Chain A
């Protein structure tokens, strides 16, 4: 192990606490705890010719890298991204050129290794100008694969395949973004569901829960199969489907046999549920891997007004129907 002061020892071993952190981080619980100290780490017993990898100081990022490199002797340079993962941090600039240059200088990397090569995760690229890093430090930047798991093959072959460089959004990844919205699910359900329960009974409360559930839990897994490319319209489609059974129940007289009750409640569900689902679906644009900023802006301008113009009347209609029922109409 290198005797240079200031180099911390990393391990490829994953503890139970590491696994818990990985899970908890996806729920957004206590995010401040998922920070690793920035700086230079030694993995195994590296020497002057060992490779240098770079990552963010977010525990799961650090973990992904060190477990992928298990058994390899190397250095890991951890940047201070305020506990944010590589891709988000790169977009914000914290996984950036200046921070990388700073950490290289602070670690005196030029004295630690003989070569002048860094291996960065590809998703750090939005924040790091490779040519500028080389100009300022003499270290050349090679972009490794998107996923740390592909690193072994990358190191063996010396290059990344097109597949290693492509970001997909498979089901497993889509399911991972659901827990982070769970707190919203709970809040929305209570805020909408409780008054609706008192106003329209169990069915109305269930309608609120169903609309929220569709937007927060069903949307991500179903994403590629929902029609249109816009998240809002995908959400409207999903929300309308979810609203159907409630519309039918209302039409069958669940809220009352009178025509105004059948039609009123059916219309209320149709107005109120789809925009809730659509809005929650639109909010997933921040957690997916392919929506552009300008596209999201266009979606917001086009569809948030539609959501508002459906939701508000729908809610008002429900209030009116509840009041009418309460006064014995």
Chain B
């Protein structure tokens, strides 16, 4: 039984990172750690793709596809062919 949440779309570019630590601050699931000043995504499979890190990285070191993680919204979108997934929430 494959764990569907093992992989995700979070990508970290070490070259662009300045170790400012914003991602560490805003991540709700402790994906990032800062050791001896250096930041890295130590726990990437915990990422829920909320986009907080990407939005707050001023240096473009993080990309992630943050969409609505709701099955009802995604199914509704597929069925009704709307542009954005929504469930009315």
- Per-residue interface assignment for chain B, residues 24 to 58, with 1 indicating a CB less than 8 Å from any chain A CB and 0 otherwise: 01111110000000000000001111111001101
User: Which residue of chain B lies nearest to A28 when distances are taken between CB atoms in the complex?
Assistant: B89
0/1 string, A116-140, CB within 8 A of B gives 1: 0000001101111111000000000
- Is the Cβ of A125 less than 8 Å from the Cβ of B52? yes
What is the CB-to-nearest-CB distance from B11 to chain A, in angstroms, rounded to a whole number? 12
Closest CB of chain A to B16's CB: distance in Å? 14
Contact A289 B28 (CB under 8 A): yes
Residues of B within 8 A of A233 (CB): 1
For B89, give its contact among A88, A125, A128, A231 (CB under 8 Å): A88
Is A22's beta carbon under 8 Å from chain B?
no
Identify which of B2, B6, B50, B56 contacts A129 (C-beta below 8 A): B56
User: Whole-angstrom distance between the alpha carbons of A84 and B88 in the complex?
Assistant: 11
The answer, yes or no, to whether B13 is at the interface (CB within 8 Å) is no
Question: Least Cβ distance of A201 to chain B in Å?
Answer: 32
Q: Does A313 contact B (CB under 8 A)?
A: no
With beta carbons under 8 angstroms apart, the residue of A130, A146, A229 that contacts B56 is A130
**Contact among B7, B55, B72, B74 with A125 in the assembled complex (CB-CB below 8 Å):** B55
Instruction: Decide: A228 near B1, CB < 8 A? Known: A84-B89, A128-B55, A286-B89.
Output: yes
Given A125-B55, A129-B55, verify A286-B4 contact (CB < 8 Å): no
A-B contact count (CB 8 A): 125
Name the A residues within 8 Å of B70 (CB-CB). Answer: 283, 285-287, 296
Are B25 and A165 neighbours in the complex by a CB distance under 8 Å? yes
Residue-wise interface mask of A (259-290) relative to B, using a CB-CB cutoff of 8 A (1 in contact, 0 not) = 00000000000000000000000110111011
Chain B residues, Cβ within 8 Å of A231: 71
Is B71 a contact partner of A230 (Cβ separation < 8 A)? no
Docked complex Cα distance between A296 and B72 (Å): 10
User: Which 5 A-B pairs rank lowest in CB-CB distance, beginning with the nearest?
Assistant: A286-B70, A125-B52, A293-B67, A125-B26, A295-B5
Give the docked Cα–Cα distance between A282 and B4 (Å). Answer: 12
Looking at chain B, what size class is its interface with the partner chain?
35 or more
Q: Is the CB–CB distance between A297 and B47 below 8 Å? A: no
A47 within 8 A of B: no
Residues of B within 8 A of A131 (CB): 56, 58
Apart from A229-B5, A293-B66, A295-B8, list 20 A-B contacts with CB within 8 A. A88-B89, A90-B52, A91-B68, A122-B52, A123-B28, A125-B55, A126-B51, A128-B56, A165-B30, A166-B28, A167-B29, A229-B4, A285-B69, A286-B71, A289-B48, A291-B48, A292-B9, A293-B68, A295-B7, A300-B74
Q: List 16 A-B contacts (CB under 8 A).
A: A84-B89, A127-B55, A131-B56, A143-B26, A160-B25, A283-B72, A290-B46, A292-B49, A293-B66, A293-B67, A293-B69, A294-B7, A295-B5, A296-B70, A298-B4, A302-B4
Separation of A324 and B8 alpha carbons in the complex (Å): 50
How far, in angstroms, from A291 to B66 measured CA to CA in the complex?
Answer: 11
Query: Once the chains bind, are A286 and B75 in contact (CB under 8 Å)?
Result: no
Pairwise interchain contact B71-A296, C-beta atoms closer than 8 A: yes
Contacts A230-B3, A286-B72, A286-B73; A126 near B52 (Cβ below 8 A): yes
Tell me the bound Cα distance from A122 to B87 in angstroms: 24
Q: Which of B27, B29, B69 contacts A295 (CB 8 A)?
A: B69
Residues of chain A within 8 A (CB-CB) of B2 are 302
Collect the chain B residues with CB atoms within 8 Å of residue A228's CB: 1, 3
Indicate if B65 sits at the interface (CB-CB under 8 A).
yes
